[in-house]
């Protein structure tokens, strides 16, 4: 029984939720309309109250002049001091008659029925509020009396179904005691109609204005956000297969232009990353496939017919070498994957740079000695840098081993540490084959090797420097490379401690 209404109220709620939540133009139109509705309501209220005040002011002015005429007739000289008896004999029907005389079409019967509301009415009461005198035009009606008022008051009341404006003046003696009241009223017929009409116009026009405003704002908002729809439509079409598609730039250089530009540059970066990833997968598979097919080919040759022991030994040694290379490559790939998945966090601490350099150089000594390469260390002993000590060792390891790998026999590798203002820089310079200028920035890319033939002898995969770059980025170390005719210099700039 109760299920249905609950359901429909739920549907209603979700309709409104959809209406406001999922449409920007509805939201813009709604907020704009609410704000404007509030402003219009305030303006309408101000207009109404101003007109009302002007109308009442005019009536009050008229009432005031009536009162002063009455007081004049009653020979009241001092406004503040008057007694009831002074009003006993004055002619209070004079005005009414005058007004009635002025109107030739005056219908006496009607006048009686409506309480003769075309003129002013006068009523004089004693201090208890009991009738002392009243103008004849009031016939059987009486004017409203507000007891206990010690000051002159103006207010609206009803007389024979019509609205009238009244003034009630207390008659005070020299001691300030109230001895009676003079009440004068004038009909407000036309003025009330004007105020009524004004009220109706304002009340009726308000919802109409608001509705029109909402519809117009919704239309305008819809037009202004149309480019967003285009952006959404294009963005929805873009997938992995058409990553080269771009959002059309709007004509005006506004926020939408910036949004489109931002999305386009994001797409540029995504396409770049996607292509790099694709290239990386292709390179990795190629690098792993080559030694595998070499090992497979060798084993197939071995199995075809019996061979000499020496032959077996040399082939197995060769295959082991290839497998070692594969294991080394897999290690490097795993390391890269770990750094790139952000699962690796650096533990930055104060590290004594010279000690780390000494340790790496010590490890490199045997391979350097093999080629007769000597190290020249120009360190500053007390220099400490902000780094992760094991990551720093890996960086130095890669750069110094490259320096040894790509240097001719009998050359020198120089490691120089210098302090620049609040930075520390470490330069590793070799006298090797160098790197051509146009290839300098590419050496940090994965699987990049300056010269493929060069590497077959040295045995690298082109992953070492990309690992160096990743590790340096993790520790906010700036790594740069410069190369001349002969020799290459890698520079590490450490952040200040």
Residues within the interface to ligand ADP (CB under 6 A): 398, 402-403, 406, 430, 432-435, 443, 448-451, 454-455, 460-466, 488
CB 96 within 8 A of CB 120: yes
| Smallest separation, CB 247 to ligand ADP (Å) | 37
Alpha carbon of residue 78 to chain centroid: 71
**How far apart are alpha carbons 166 and 120 in whole angstroms?**
10
User: Which C-beta is closer to ligand ADP: that of 351 or that of 463?
Assistant: 463
Of the chain, the end-to-end C-alpha distance in Å amounts to: 73
Cα–Cα distance list, 220 to 1, 225, 234, 387 (Å): 45, 9, 23, 57
Instruction: Give the closest residue to 328 by CA, choosing from 432, 401, 270.
Output: 401
Q: Which is nearer to ligand ADP, 392 or 463 (CB)?
A: 463
Which residue is at the shortest CB distance from ligand ADP?
Answer: 460
Closest separation in Å from C-beta 486 to ligand ADP: 10
CB of 320 to ligand ADP, least distance (A): 20
Closest separation in Å from C-beta 292 to ligand ADP: 19
Query: Between residues 168 and 466, which has the closer beta carbon with respect to ligand ADP?
Result: 466
Closest approach of ligand ADP to the CB of residue 398, in Å = 6
Residue number with CB closer to ligand ADP (257 or 448): 448
CA torsion sign, 22 to 25 to 28 to 29?
negative
**CB-nearer residue toward ligand ADP: 107 or 331:** 331
The whole-angstrom separation of Cα 43 and Cα 426 is: 73
Question: Measured from the CB of residue 440, what is the shortest distance to ligand ADP in angstroms?
Answer: 9
CB 471 to ligand ADP: min, Å: 12
Cβ-based nearer residue to ligand ADP, 58 or 458: 458
Angle (deg, nearest 10), helices 464-474 and 389-405: 150
Q: Quick one: 185 or 368, whose CB is closer to ligand ADP?
A: 368
Which CA distances in Å does 471 have to 384, 391, 426, 463? Answer: 18, 6, 16, 12
* Residue pair 449/462 in contact by the 8 Å Cβ criterion: yes
Nearer to ligand ADP, 291 or 434 (CB): 434
Q: How far is the CB of 391 from ligand ADP (least distance, A)?
A: 16
How does 479-494 read in b/e, with b if 16+ C-beta sit within 10 Å? bebebeeebbbbbbbb
In a 3-state reduction of DSSP, which class is residue 417?
Answer: strand
Q: In which residue are the tokens 């009432």 written?
A: 63
């Amino acid at each position: 029984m109760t299920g249905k209404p609950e359901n429909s109220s739920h549907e209603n709620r979700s309709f409104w939720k959809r209406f406001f939540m999922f449409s920007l133009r509805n939201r813009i139109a709604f907020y704009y309309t609410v704000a404007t509705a509030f402003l219009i309501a305030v303006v309408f209220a101000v207009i109404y109250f101003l007109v009302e005040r002007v109308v009442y002011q005019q009536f009050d002015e008229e009432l005031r002049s009536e009162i002063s005429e009455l007081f004049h007739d009653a020979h009241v000289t001092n406004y503040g001091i008057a007694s009831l008896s002074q009003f006993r004999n004055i002619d209070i029907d004079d005005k009414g008659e005058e007004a009635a005389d002025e109107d030739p079409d005056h219908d006496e019967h009607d006048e009686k029925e409506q309480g003769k509301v075309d003129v002013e009415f006068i009523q004089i009461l004693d201090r208890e509020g009991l009738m002392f005198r009243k103008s004849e035009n009031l016939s059987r009606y009486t004017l409203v009396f507000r007891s206990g008022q010690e000051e002159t008051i103006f207010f609206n009341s009803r007389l024979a179904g019509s609205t009238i404006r009244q003034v009630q003046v207390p008659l005070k003696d020299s001691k300030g005691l109230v001895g009676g009241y003079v009440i004068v009223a004038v009909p407000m017929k036309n003025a009330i109609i004007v105020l009524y009409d004004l009220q109706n116009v304002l009340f009726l026009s308000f919802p109409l204005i608001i509705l029109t405003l909402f519809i117009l704002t919704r239309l305008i908002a819809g037009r202004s956000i149309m480019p967003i729809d285009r952006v959404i439509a294009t963005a929805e079409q873009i997938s992995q297969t058409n990553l080269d598609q771009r959002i059309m730039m709007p004509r005006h250089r506004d926020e939408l232009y910036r949004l489109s530009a931002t999305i386009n540059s994001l797409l540029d970066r995504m396409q770049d990353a996607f292509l790099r990833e694709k290239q990386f997968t292709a390179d990795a598979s190629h690098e792993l496939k080559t030694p595998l097919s070499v090992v497979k080919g060798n084993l197939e040759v071995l199995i075809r017919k019996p061979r000499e022991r020496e032959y077996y030994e040399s082939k197995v040694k060769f295959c082991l070498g290839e497998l070692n290379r594969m294991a080394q490559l897999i290690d490097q790939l795993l390391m890269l994957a770990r750094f790139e998945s952000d699962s690796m966090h650096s533990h930055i601490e104060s590290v004594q740079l010279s000690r780390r350099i000494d340790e790496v150089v010590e490890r490199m000594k045997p391979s350097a000695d093999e080629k007769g390469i000597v190290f020249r260390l120009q360190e500053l002993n007390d220099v400490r840098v902000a780094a992760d000590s094991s990551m720093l060792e890996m960086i130095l390891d890669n750069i110094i081993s490259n320096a040894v790998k790509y240097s001719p026999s009998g050359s020198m590798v120089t490691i120089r540490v210098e302090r620049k203002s609040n930075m520390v820089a470490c330069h590793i310079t070799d006298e090797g084959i160098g790197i051509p200028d146009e290839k300098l920035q590419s050496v940090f890319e994965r699987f990049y090797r300056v010269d493929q033939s060069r590497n077959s002898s040295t045995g690298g995969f082109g992953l070492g420097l990309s690992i160096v770059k990743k590790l340096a980025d993790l520790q906010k170390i700036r790594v740069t490379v410069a190369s001349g005719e002969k020799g290459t210099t890698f520079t590490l700039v450490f952040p200040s401690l």
